Amino acid sequence: TAVSEPTFESPYAIPGGIAPGVNLVGIRKRLADTTVELPSGGSLVIAGLVRDEMRQVISGFPGLSKLPILGTLFRSRDFQRYETELVVIVTPYLVRPVARQQLARPDDNLNFSSDGASNFLGRVNRVYGAADTRLPPGRYHGNVGYIYK
């Protein structure tokens, strides 16, 4: 398992003046790897990818923030602390192959509503429990899926 996220802590500047002012964003990556044997429907929980980060910034009015005693009136402190933990839960299921004719797509009975019903009533599709349940003509021409055993 790998989790990646962008980070701006130490951006990489493109050398040679090819693109001045352009910095590339770094990527922070957390990894976890394990091998186990599980029954169908059994779950495995991997935890412990902990990230603890603290940032402190002191900013102030130039010149006045450096004055002794009175300088505290012209500066501010910003403190941020991030604590995250990644938990990965994996549950495998044994499945059996199925023919294309036994599969149904989620949008098989979708009929888009008119512009008026969409704009004024907030409806996305025309079918809300209607008696007309005919399948659309043609078949789905995609990959074959699996049915849970």
What integer pLDDT is reported at residue 108 of this predicted model? 73
Q: What pLDDT, on a 0 to 100 scale, did the predictor assign at position 49?
A: 77
Q: In this model, does residue 120 exceed pLDDT 70?
A: yes
Across 107-121, average pLDDT: 73
Burial 3-34 (b: 16+ CB within 10 A, else e): eeeeeeeeeeeeeeeeeeeeeeeeeeeeeeee
Domain locations in the chain as residue ranges = 2-10+25-90, 94-135+143-149
Measured CA to CA, the distance from residue 145 to residue 106 in angstroms comes to 13
Please list, in sequence order, all residues whose beta carbon lies within 8 angstroms of the beta carbon of residue 13, skipping any fewer than 6 positions away: 22, 23, 24
Determine which of 6-15, 27-36, 66-75 has the lowest per-residue pLDDT on average: 6-15
pLDDT at 11 over 70: no
